[in-house]
Amino acid sequence: MSAVLSESAASDERVVDLDIEGFAPAGDGVGHIQGAAVFVPGAIEGERVRVAIPAGPVRAPTQGRLLDILSRAPDRLPPACPHAGVCGGCQWLHVAPRRQRTTKAAMFAQALGQLLDGVETRPLAHASQDLRYRARATLHVSGGRLGFSQKRSHAVVAVNTCPLLDDKLSAALTTLQTLLAEKSESWRLPRGCVDVALACDASRVSAAFFLERLSDDAERRLSRLARHAALDGALAVVNGRVTPLFGKPVLQRRAPSSTSAILRTRPDLFAQAHPQANALLVSEVVERLAGAERVLELHGGSGNFTLALAERVKALVSIEMCAGALELARQSAREASFGHVRFIVGDAIRQARDLARSGMRFDALLLDPPRGGAPGIAAVAEALDVHRVVYVSCNPVTLARDAQSLVATGYQPTFARPFDMFPQTVHLEGVMVFERERRPPHPRPSAP
């Protein structure tokens, strides 16, 4: 018997003794009552737990509240964070890294299903750092303090420390929270400041303050706060418009898999949060594009893959919607004398279609889209007549959807590998390669 029900002291709840049979995509443990799923945050596959559920018949999937662990899984760990279970940032601090990785590999395989039949699928890649790896984080402002979203809520949990943050970021957060906790008006965040993004490189920390509006008083206040928090640079962002506050907010690291190029980032721009894992990801992508001479890159960002590829290909076009990120990539390419790289600002799919209509052709197509994936990518690949597509995905569900469209267009999956870019969370990335034979060129009509 998988579940035993009894009345709870609370009239609106029942108590369930439940066997946890697996993990849900959101990271919760999953058990069943009369065929209906019960999702239990904090439970681990293989455990028997006591859970509170809403009173009444269970006819549809429902959420449970963990009360007690009756039979403990060997992979359970004490969470290394005082906010575990409340903060929504980490789902698996209580799960040993070994179990996290096997579960993520299984989730990747399940999402892609038959698409992986006969495909070379390498084991999940992961870095050695499971804590203190994050080189960037965005915190929300609530009540004048900084924090992360509460689990399944828009409420904000104030935090002074986070075990995932790089030591430099953690120290900066602690200092900022200490200043904000003082009653002095001098350290109060200006009205309309909604988020604070922190980022670091090997030695420096910078911040981006996201505001609804920026007055002269707000600019002075934020500059003073950032200086006293010992930040190395800061900027303000209002509706995408960036205003430097002080110092040097642009951060720099040696570009992964590059011999000389410098990868530039800013705290307000997207970048991979785990530098060590990112180096593994870039290395894999470079390997999968070996032999390609003309490459089109979609969603190129600030050059994470661009700079490594520029050393290995004859021609490279990188398309990116965010002008700020693309400008950093352009600056890095210029400094490294990569004159054969062309940068285009705009929507990736739309700009790629324009390139195809203009007659441009490429050996390979690389894309690293956001979580929504890349609807329309199959038609673009076909129009550009590429024989290889390397798809970097942060969402296996949309990767599977786009993979189906590529297969329907004649591309066959030849390689797949999951990547654990976010230890302690359910998020994972993956690389998948698709290939098809290049079509022979259409014969030109002979002259009359």
Helix (H, G, I), strand (E, B) or coil at 147: strand
Find out whether 32 and 20 touch, Cβ atoms under 8 Å.
no
Paired strand residues for 327: none
Angle at 284 between CA 279 and CA 285, to 5 degrees: 100
Distance of CA 130 to the CA centre of its chain: 15
In the block, residue with structure tokens 């998988």: 2
Check if 162 is active-site: no
Handedness of CA 92, 93, 98, 99 (dihedral sign): negative
The answer to whether residues 169 and 231 touch, using CB atoms and an 8 Å cutoff, is no
The answer to whether 195 and 210 are in contact (CB under 8 A) is yes
Name residue 448's amino acid: P
Query: How far is the C-alpha of 254 from the C-alpha of 239, rounded, in Å?
Result: 30
Q: Which amino acid appears at position 351 of this protein? A: Q
Q: What CA–CA distance (Å, rounded) separates 43 from 394?
A: 25
d(CA 399, CA 169): 32
Residue 294 Cα distances to 118, 197, 354, angstroms: 28, 36, 17
Spatial neighbors of 162 by CB under 8 A, at least 6 apart, are 81, 83, 89, 134, 137, 148, 170, 173
Helix (H, G, I), strand (E, B) or coil at 378: helix
Query: Three-state DSSP class for 379?
Result: helix
Residue 331 near residue 264 (C-beta atoms within 8 A): yes
Structure tokens at 412: 């066959």
Residues classed as catalytic: 394
